[in-house]
Amino acid sequence: MRHFGKAAAFAGALACAGPVIAQEHNPFDWRSVPEQDDQITMKIGHSVNMEWSSHTATLKRFAELVAIYSNNEIKPEIFPGSQLGGEREMMQQARQGALQVTFPATNNAAALAPSLNVFILPYLATSTSQVNYLQDELTEFLNPRVIDEAGVRIVGWENSGWRAFFYKSDEPITKPSDLANLKMRVPPNPIMIATYEAWGGNPTPIAWNELYGALQQGVVEGGDNPVTDVIGMKFNEVINRMTTFHYTILTHPIVVSERWFQGLSDEHKAVIERAGEEATAYIRWWQPLDEERWWDQAREAGVEITAIEDESEWIEKARAIWPDYYDAIGPDGEAVVAKVMELLEAYPGDQ
């Protein structure tokens, strides 16, 4: 039973007691944990510098949990905004043990850990629940490969949302042939480039930090990213449309330097793994709630939004490229894909 009456009385008492002086921040959180002897520094590097992003929310949660569960024996320090280099460069630093944790987009992590390209296969999954299921069930299978390939291990995941087309055009994108007359930016990932080509599009690899200017100058007419990135980066100033579909979701694994991880005590290893698991659960709750407000902002900004109701043609053309890119997933890429299909056959359905 909820005691609303007591809560109201307590609030009234506070009002009578005079104004409450709020502190600017909590004096003890993961950013200001007390220093102590033999404290382990855990540097976390990532490329995003926006407080509103799910990347930031995930890493703050992860850092906080590590500080709590280690009783401040591990002191996290977050370096956002590519202060420590680009995503691939930070992966290299993690391999060497110079950086303890980083948070690359899966397509960028795959440059060093090809087995992660399995998540880039277009239409591998068609719902967020399927993606979460595959991440949960496949990580243990993939980690030995990722450790061998890149010297890092995955301890958690963040999903930023489904990639949607954003573009400037008089007509909406509803079928693959609509891409023929549009130059679309894609990340420099071979599978993503091939996907656009399979649809008959004109993919143009451009660095993320150069994209606004490229849209403004007409070098490209659009691209695909989650709505949070599109509106958060103010691309609505240079595009007028978005089209939603489910060809791939933007994901970021929380990766930990294996060299550093193996130097930890068993207790601290358990802390890192627990924090990664719980940060994953947290962001899976947080991100969908947050995404709704970004779609509202897109509409308020005048962006016209179209949903592709029948994706069958998109799926057929995109999945046709899979066999050509098994090698991009590693020497046993076909076996990795077979494992995914085995898991999907056992998938219990969207929950």
In DSSP terms, which residues pair with 44 in a beta bridge?
Answer: 78, 101
The mean per-residue pLDDT over the stretch 321-338 comes to: 95
The mean per-residue pLDDT over the stretch 4-10 comes to: 39
Give CA torsion, residues 236, 237, 239, 240, to 10 deg.
Answer: 70
Walk me through the domains of the chain, giving residue ranges and CATH numbers: 39-160+250-300 (3.40.190.170), 165-246+303-319 (3.40.190.10)
> pLDDT at residue 16 above 50?
no
Contact 166, 230 (CB under 8 A): yes
Q: Of 20-24, 92-96, 212-216, 278-282, which gets the smallest average pLDDT?
A: 20-24
Q: What is the pLDDT of residue 71?
A: 94
Q: What is the pLDDT of residue 25?
A: 59
Kindly report, residue by residue over 180-190, the tens digit of the pLDDT: 999 999 988 99
Q: Give the residue from 109, 164, 171 showing the smallest Cα distance to 142.
A: 109
Q: Of 45-59, 130-144, 159-173, 281-295, which gets the smallest average pLDDT?
A: 45-59
Average pLDDT in the chain:
91
Q: What is the pLDDT of residue 27?
A: 66
**Residue 160, both tokens:** 């930023």
Kindly report, residue by residue over 241-260, the tens digit of the pLDDT: 999 999 999 999 999 999 99
Q: What is the pLDDT of residue 350?
A: 67
